[in-house]
């Protein structure tokens, strides 16, 4: 499971921003996302225990389910934030980002939540318990991604505007290597975004 | 040509109720998350703190946390489950079945040769010597075969044991003194002997068999322990039984054994140890002897266990088949 978390952090780091340690890097933000997922897993276990739901061997796969769903939310929020104008005030940017991504996250999370809650009616105790844990986990994941990862996006955005490196910023300052604040020109779309819009989207229209 | 204001209004009037509802929900959600985003931008650390507070609140439920790995794949509240619950609430096994099958390593050897029977008796003597201790409610309980077995005195033994050794009253001296075991066996009917022997064939005076079976019946004394029924003394003794089989199997025999009270995990652990001891071990779930019980103990078969959800909790164990 530790390896799974490590892989997800690396995957997030590469996808949310560029590597490694520069202004555009988002390793810290990725770790905050994974932390939010970890908290959601813990919260779901504690909350489900309130309702006398047993923990079984099957539940050991729950973190992987939550990782997949949680990372998806992070991508949506971060991508919506990246679409905003860097020159705008942070409040305006976050209002725009969250109003766009929030609806998407809510719809997907509620769909997953309802699907898992319906599955709790199964007659198999292990599966019913697992689905209850997963359903509550999705709720906490939804909340924590909106609050904790949303806050991490704000802090990360401030850092980028201040021209600070992602991590070990003090070391680079000590060495006399300064970083430039991020500008609107730096906010290039990623390879996947370009492919989906320029290639896949265009061919679909044809 | 651009649409006029009138066209737009007409289009708006043409919207269905569902579309209006959808738009309303969408705009309200957007507004809510917009406000949240603005709040996040102003006070990010506060929101991180709120996250941890919610997390801590949810984690307080860990006080009721418990793990369960038995009966988690058995459907609940189905007709089959209800029928099974009813059956076990009215009639359940009055004992656990622990058995060992001995097969001569020499495949040409007759299992009924006196040397093999003596080896079997030696193994039985080792089982008789098994002593275990277990603490239940801060009370140390010492157990052995006699204290745990299903009490049904026969063939000179106070316990219900089924094997060919009953012909010699489970006494090594009697067996050793017997100069013609075939004649002794002739005292039993073919059908009776067939129940205790594997690959049994021949006629009186010239019986042959491929395997010998030694079966012990422990009395079911399960008590409710939390959410399930437990019988710690029997469980502990069966652990000793497994260990005895692993290290005490006669050199001229292969031992195949099973227990019914201990969990599969314990059996698997023992298998690992037994493999190290170069014994070939297997568990058989379908080779328990057909047996008939014809005494007053049948009356005790009516269930002592009250009906309830825990009545199914013991079904996760492997139970030997008998009739």
- Please, are residues B196 and B164 in contact by the beta-carbon 8 Å criterion? yes
Interface test with B, best of A80, A129, A131, A148 (most B CBs within 10 A): A148
pLDDT at res. A171:
52
Q: Cβ A140–B65 below 8 Å, yes or no?
A: no
Chain A hits for B54, CB-CB cut-off 8 Å, are 43, 140, 143-144
In a domain, B80, yes or no: no
- Which of A33, A61, A77, A154 to probe by mutation at the B interface, max B CB count within 10 Å? A154
Residue B250 falls inside a structural domain: yes
Name the residue among B50, B59, B68 with its Cβ closest to that of A43.
B59
Check whether A154 has a pLDDT greater than 90: yes
Q: What does the pLDDT read at residue A132?
A: 96
Domain count for chain B: 2
**Considering only alpha carbons, which residue of chain A is nearest residue B41?**
A91
pLDDT recorded at residue B311: 32
Give the residue numbers spanning the domain of A148. 2-205
| Closest alpha carbon within chain A to B62 | A46
Average pLDDT of chain A is 84
Is B119 within the bounds of a domain? Answer: yes
**Which chain A residues are closer than 8 Å to B81 by Cβ?**
123
Task: Band the pLDDT of A19: cuts 50, 70, 90.
Answer: low
Beta-carbon count within 10 A of B151 CB? 12
Q: Which residue has the tokens 């406000």?
A: B35
Q: A52-84: per-residue pLDDT in tens?
A: 899 988 888 898 889 888 889 999 999 899 889
Assigned token pair, A200? 């896949």
Supply the pLDDT for residue A184. 64
Say yes or no: B33 contacts chain A, CB-CB below 8 A.
yes
pLDDT at residue number A193: 67
Residue A174, pLDDT > 50, answer no
Contact of A54 with chain B, judged by CB distance below 8 Å, is answered with: yes
- B286 and B189 both lie in a single domain: yes
Nearest C-alpha in B relative to A151: B44
**CA of A43 vs chain B CAs: smallest distance (Å):** 5
What is the arithmetic mean of pLDDT over A116-141?
Answer: 93
The band of A109, judged by pLDDT with boundaries at 50, 70 and 90, is very high
CA of B139 vs chain A CAs: smallest distance (Å) = 30
Q: What is the ipTM of this complex?
A: 0.85
Q: Phi and psi for B39 in degrees, rounded to 5?
A: -65, -40
Question: B130 and B247, same structural domain?
Answer: yes
pLDDT at A117: 96
Q: Would you call A154 and B44 a contact, using CB atoms and an 8 Å cutoff?
A: yes
Find all residues with CB under 8 Å of B51, minimum gap 6, and list them: A36, A39, A143, A144, A147, A148, A151
**Residue A147 Cα, gap to closest chain B Cα (Å):** 6
Q: Are residues B69 and A56, on separate chains, in Cβ contact within 8 Å?
A: yes
Residue B100 lies in a domain: yes
Query: CB-based contacts of B272: which residues, under 8 Å, 6+ apart?
Result: none
Supply the range of the domain harboring residue B145.
87-316
Residue B21: CB partners within 8 Å, gap ≥ 6? none
B194 and B123 part of one domain:
yes
Domain assignment present for residue B69? The answer is no
Token code pair at residue B70? 């038995």
* CA–CA min distance B316, chain A (Å): 13
Hey, are the CB atoms on B54 and A43 less than 8 Å from each other?
Answer: yes
Q: Which residues of chain B have pLDDT under 70?
A: 1-14, 92, 224-229, 261-323
Q: Are both B165 and B51 inside the same structural domain?
A: no
Contact criterion met (CB below 8 Å) for B150 and B297: yes
Q: Does residue B196 sit in the same domain as residue B281?
A: yes
User: What CATH number does the domain containing A51 carry?
Assistant: 1.20.1640.10
Q: Is residue B166 part of a domain?
A: yes
* Residue B158, H or E segment: strand B157-159
Q: How many domains does chain A have?
A: 1
Which of B265, B194, B193, B196 lies closest to B235 in space, CA to CA?
B265
Task: Say if CB B94 and CB B297 are below 8 A apart.
Answer: yes
The whole-number average pLDDT for the span A89-117 is 94
Q: Counting beta carbons within 10 angstroms of the beta carbon of residue B309, is it exposed (0 to 12), middle (13 to 18) or buried (19 or more)?
A: exposed
Chosen from B55, B69, B73, B77 to mutate, greatest number of chain A CBs within 10 A: B55
Q: Is the pLDDT of residue A153 over 50?
A: yes
The two structure tokens encoding residue A182: 């991020």
Listed in sequence order, the residues at least 6 apart from B35 whose beta carbon sits closer than 8 Å to its beta carbon are A95
Q: Does B144 touch chain A (CB under 8 A)?
A: no
Chain A residues whose beta carbon lies within 8 Å of the beta carbon of residue B70? none
Residue pLDDT, tens place only, B147-203:
999 888 888 889 999 999 999 999 999 999 999 999 999 888 888 889 889 999 988
Name the A residues in 102-141 with CB < 8 Å from any B CB. Answer: 102-103, 106, 123-126, 129, 140
Q: What pLDDT was estimated at residue B302?
A: 30
One domain, residues B32 and B91: no
B77 touching A, CB under 8 A? yes
Residues in A touching B38 (Cβ below 8 Å): 91, 94-95
């Amino acid at each position: 499971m530790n390896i799974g978390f490590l892989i997800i952090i690396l995957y997030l780091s590469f996808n949310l921003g560029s590597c490694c340690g520069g202004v555009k890097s988002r390793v810290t933000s990725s770790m905050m996302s994974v932390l939010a997922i970890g908290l959601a897993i813990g919260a779901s276990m504690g909350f489900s225990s309130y309702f006398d739901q047993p923990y079984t061997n099957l539940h050991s796969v729950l973190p992987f389910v939550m990782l997949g769903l949680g990372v998806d939310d992070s991508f949506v929020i971060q991508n919506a934030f990246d679409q905003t104008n860097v020159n705008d005030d942070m409040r305006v940017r976050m209002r725009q980002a969250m109003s766009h991504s929030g609806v998407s996250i809510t719809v997907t999370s509620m769909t997953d939540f309802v699907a898992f809650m319906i599955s709790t009616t199964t007659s198999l105790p292990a599966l019913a318990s697992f689905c209850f844990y997963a359903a509550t986990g999705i709720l906490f994941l939804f909340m924590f991604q909106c609050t904790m990862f949303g806050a991490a996006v704000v802090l990360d955005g401030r850092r980028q505007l201040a021209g600070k490196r992602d991590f070990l910023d003090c070391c680079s300052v000590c060495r006399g290597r300064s970083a430039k604040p991020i500008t609107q020109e730096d906010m290039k779309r990623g390879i996947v975004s370009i492919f989906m819009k320029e290639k896949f989207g265009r061919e679909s229209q044809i | 040509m651009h649409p006029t204001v009138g066209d737009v209004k007409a289009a708006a009037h043409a919207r269905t109720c569902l579309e209006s509802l959808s738009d309303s929900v969408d705009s309200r959600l957007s507004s809510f998350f917009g406000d949240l985003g603005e709040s996040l931008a102003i006070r990010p650390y506060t929101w991180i703190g709120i996250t941890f507070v919610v997390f801590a609140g949810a984690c307080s439920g860990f006080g009721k946390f418990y793990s369960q790995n038995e009966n988690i794949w058995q459907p609940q509240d189905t007709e089959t489950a209800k029928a099974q619950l009813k059956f076990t609430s009215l009639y359940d096994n009055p004992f656990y079945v622990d058995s060992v099958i001995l097969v001569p390593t020499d495949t040409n050897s007759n299992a009924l040769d006196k040397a093999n029977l003596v080896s079997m008796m030696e193994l039985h003597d080792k089982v008789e010597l098994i002593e275990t201790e277990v603490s239940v409610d801060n009370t140390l309980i010492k157990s052995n075969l006699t204290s745990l077995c299903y009490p049904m005195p026969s063939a000179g033994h106070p316990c219900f044991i089924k094997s060919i050794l009953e012909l010699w009253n489970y006494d090594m001296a009697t067996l050793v003194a017997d100069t013609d075991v075939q004649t002794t066996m002739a005292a039993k009917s073919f059908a009776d002997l067939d129940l205790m022997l594997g690959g049994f064939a021949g006629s009186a005076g010239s019986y042959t068999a491929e395997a010998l079976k030694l079966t012990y019946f422990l009395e079911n004394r399960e008590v409710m322990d939390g959410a399930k029924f437990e019988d710690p003394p029997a469980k502990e003794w069966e652990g000793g039984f497994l260990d005895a089989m692993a290290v005490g199997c006669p050199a001229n025999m292969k031992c195949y054994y099973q227990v019914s009270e201990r969990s599969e995990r314990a059996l698997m652990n023992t298998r690992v140890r037994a493999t190290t001891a170069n014994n070939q071990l297997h568990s058989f779930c379908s080779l328990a002897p057909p047996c008939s019980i014809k005494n007053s103990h049948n009356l005790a078969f009516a269930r002592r266990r009250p009906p309830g959800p825990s009545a199914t909790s013991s079904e996760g164990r492997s139970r030997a088949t008998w009739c």
